[in-house]
Chain A
Amino acid sequence: MADMEMRAVLAEQLKQMMQQDPKVVVIDADLAKASGTWGLRKDFPDRAIDVGIAEQNMVSIASGMASYGYKPFITSFTPFVSRRVCDQITLSSCYAKQPITIVGTDPGICAEINGGTHMGMEDIGVLRSIADIVIFEPVDTVQLKQALPIIAGLGKTVYIRLFRKKIDDVFGEDYKFDLFKADTIKEGKDVTIFCTGIMVQETVKAMDLLQKEGIDAEIINVHTIKPIDKETIVKSVAKTGCAVTAENHNIMGGLFSAVSEVLAMSMPTPVLPIGVPDTFGEVGKMPYLKQIYKMTAEDIVAKAKEVMKLKK
């Protein structure tokens, strides 16, 4: 387990960026403590602000500030900065080309006992169909730390889908992050498992189980779902001939869809999804939710075996 919560890394990086760049601003909508950004107000009372519970307003305010050369980071729970604010992200930010960074916390089942109303199962799908947006789902503190300054300097509207608490690090200190390049965590030849967010740790767990079963899986972390790294996906599947996707999101519209789109166009291949099976969320702790939606390491193994049978 990494020592720091993901939101603490977010805050630490934002603090550094705010010190270095007077144009970086942080806007919350009454969830600053949940997002970890609360403490920034002490150091930057003018640039770390709270607009109250008004997410649509927040997105367009941020876009207005962007038109003045500011680099706004805005935060809330995933559903309230995705599905609730679709039109504001689309028009004020993306269409008007006014870049902002949107941090949505507690994606999918991570909302746990906040329950179905607070579970963003569709945020990637909803946002992915907005032209020109970048969608990034970090895996661990190492990746998040490296990603934030790159995102701030990108000049694009970026959605960061953030698990906010403590999670095992997958990457070591020698890791070199590239926002547009998927990471091959393990090479293999029998099946590719494309995974993102908290499902990367789950897939790493599955890795040992697969090995015991004599399956040599290639494991690739697709941290950026849009624009997706087509080259890495096609190259891997050319070798393995089949794939499983693993995501903490509805299997419609998210990683499964994005990977399938790439393969349908360049290399039709069997792909099977692990994720939330086109249903709404409900209250529960993550282990329970992973079980009911069949998102455990064992489910990944079973899915890998199933898809290998579909290979030509």
Chain B
Amino acid sequence: MQREEICKIIREDTCKCIASIGVGHIGGCLSIVEILVSLYYKHMNIDPTNPHMAGRDRLVCSKGHAGPAVYATLANKGYFDKAELLTLNHSGTNLPSHCDMNKTIGIDMTTGSLGQGFSCAVGIALASKLDKDGAYIYTVIGDGESQEGQIWEAGMFAAQAKLDNLIAFTDYNKMQIDGNTDDVNSLEPLNKKWESFGWNVVVIDGHDFDQIDDAIANAKACKGKPTMIIANTIKGKGVKYIEDKGYGNHSMPMLWEDVEKYIEEIRRA
């Protein structure tokens, strides 16, 4: 199946997953679907039947509130039964709002307190280097999340340690909860910041598969530096009603009747 088609299924399942509890972080889920699908369906060396495989590539979703999009991807890859997607945040669930490595099969790191996952990814990349297992460590951080000092502490050290096995994405949807990042606490010039921190930087359209592929190839070819792929994205991508809410789509009610309309639109695209 083409990645375009897979993305439609992941968007659909993400909406259903959130609808199962009635409210959730839909905006920041929909903005990373192409990235997740590219990683799990094309680039990552993984085996869903052996989720703890040594030397596997890993993904740390540092913006842990995008859990539902990651769960939808993992379920479609066969890590667990898709029916489980409808238990998001239900009592006793394995699928909490924020990613939890001890609850969900396939999740490589527990996240939810912004900034920490990125440092964890640096630690994982460091360990993989020591083990010489050849793994690539992928991580996705939010742009709002990038206001945390911890992001820059980790970034500085990753360059110091020459972690060329670390491939990071900034989900640059330009929005956080209290507004547009430019109005709250601007990250600009973001590419220059990461360059000046010693990173290999690639700026792409985060919804374009070719650009994602090229950026990952570029990262793998770059020796001695970690790579930051600044992915320009749209928060809520794929559902006009959600996109149009702007930063109001960070967390939104999601009713089943809404989902039906959203799915129709997603399938038509």
Q: Are B176 and A30 in contact (CB under 8 A)?
A: yes
**Chain A residue with the shortest CB-CB distance to B110:** A117
Complex contact B176–A116 (CB within 8 A): no
Contact string against A for B residues 48-69, beta-carbon threshold 8 Å, 1 for contact and 0 otherwise: 0000000000000000100000
Compute how far the CA of A30 lies from the CA of B147 in the bound complex, rounded to whole angstroms.
Answer: 10
A 79-99 binary contact with B (CB < 8 Å = 1; else 0): 110001000000000000000
Residue among B23, B113, B176, B181 facing the most chain A CB atoms (10 A cut-off): B113
Q: What is the bound-complex CA distance between A54 and B91, given in angstroms?
A: 31
Is B127 an interface residue when CB atoms closer than 8 A count as contact? no
Residue A201 at the B interface, CB < 8 A?
no
Residue with the highest number of chain B CB atoms closer than 10 Å, among A30, A31, A51, A118: A30
Per the bound structure, the CA–CA distance linking A53 and B250 in Å amounts to 14
Within 8 Å by CB of B96, from A51, A53, A283, A285, lies A283
What chain A residues lie within 8 Å of B90 (beta carbons)? 283
Q: How far is the CA of A38 from the CA of B178 in the complex (A)?
A: 8
Given contacts A79-B113, A115-B89, A288-B91, contact A53 B148 (CB under 8 A): yes
Residue of A with least CB distance to B99: A117
**A284 interface contact, C-beta 8 A:** yes
Return chain A residues, CB-CB under 8 Å to B91.
283-285, 288
Question: What residues on B are CB-neighbors of A113 within 8 Å?
Answer: 21, 23, 89, 97
Return the contact of A283 from the options B97, B114, B176 (Cβ within 8 A). Answer: B97
Known: A32-B178, A117-B98, A284-B91. A53 touches B149 (CB 8 A): no
Tell yes or no: B160 within 8 A of A by CB.
no
Contacts of B21 in A (CB 8 A): 113
Contact with A along B103-121 (1 / 0, CB 8 A): 0000000111111000000
Known: A84-B113, A117-B110. A56 touches B149 (CB 8 A): yes
Residue A211 CB within 8 A of the other chain: no
- Are A116's CB and B178's CB within 8 A? no
**Is residue A57 within 8 Å, beta carbon to beta carbon, of the partner chain?**
yes
Contact A31 B177 (CB under 8 A): yes
Interface size on A, residues (CB 8 A): 28
| Residues B144 and A30 in contact, CB atoms below 8 Å apart | yes
- Whether A31 pairs with B147 at a CB distance below 8 angstroms is no
In the complex, what residue of chain A is closest to B112 when comparing beta carbons? A117
B196 within 8 A of A: no
Count chain B residues whose beta carbon lies closer than 8 angstroms to a beta carbon of A.
30
User: Are B110 and A52 in contact, with the CB atoms below 8 A?
Assistant: no
Chain A-chain B contacts (Cβ-Cβ < 8 Å), number = 84
Bound-state CA distance A28–B178 (Å) is 9
Contact B185 A115 (CB under 8 A): no
Q: Which residues of B contact A80 (CB under 8 A)?
A: 113
Interface centre among B64, B96, B100 (most CB of A within 10 A): B96
Chain B: CB-nearest residue to A80? B113
Contact A54–B178 (Cβ < 8 Å)? no
- B89 and A54: CB pair below 8 A? no
Q: Are B98 and A53 in contact (CB under 8 A)?
A: no
Which residues of chain A from 103 to 155 have any CB-CB distance to chain B below 8 Å in the complex? 113-118
Q: Determine whether B222 belongs to the interface, using a CB cutoff of 8 Å to chain A.
A: no
Q: Which residues of B contact A57 (CB under 8 A)?
A: 149
**CA distance in complex: A45, B173 (Å):** 25
Separation of A84 and B148 alpha carbons in the complex (Å): 11
Please determine whether A31 and B178 come into contact, CB atoms closer than 8 angstroms: yes
B144 lies within 8 A of A52 (CB)? yes
Complex Cα distance, B115 from A80, in Å, reads 11
Q: A residues within 8 A CB of B112?
A: 114-118
Q: Are A53 and B145 in contact (CB under 8 A)?
A: yes
Report A-chain residues with C-beta under 8 Å of the C-beta of B93.
283
A298 proximal to B (CB < 8 A): no
Q: Determine the distance from Cα of A57 to Cα of B149 in the docked complex, in whole angstroms.
A: 8
A117 cross-chain contacts in B, Cβ below 8 A: 64, 96-98, 100, 110-113
Say whether B217 faces chain A, with CB atoms less than 8 Å apart.
no
Chain B residues positioned under 8 Å from A31 (CB to CB): 177-178
> When the two chains form their complex, are residues B97 and A54 in contact, meaning their CB atoms are under 8 A apart?
no
Q: Which of A50-72 contact B (CB under 8 A)?
A: 50-54, 56-57
Known: A113-B89, A283-B89, A283-B97. 10 other contacts (CB 8 A): A28-B178, A30-B144, A52-B184, A53-B144, A84-B113, A114-B97, A114-B112, A117-B64, A117-B113, A118-B97
Query: Could you name 16 residue pairs across A and B whose Cβ atoms are closer than 8 Å?
Result: A28-B178, A31-B177, A52-B176, A53-B114, A53-B144, A54-B148, A54-B185, A113-B23, A113-B97, A114-B98, A117-B64, A117-B98, A117-B113, A118-B98, A283-B93, A283-B96
B contacts, CB < 8 Å to A: 21, 23, 64, 89-93, 96-98, 100, 110-115, 144-145, 147-149, 176-179, 181, 184-185
Chain A residues with CB under 8 Å of chain B are 28, 30-34, 38, 50-54, 56-57, 79-80, 84, 113-118, 282-285, 288
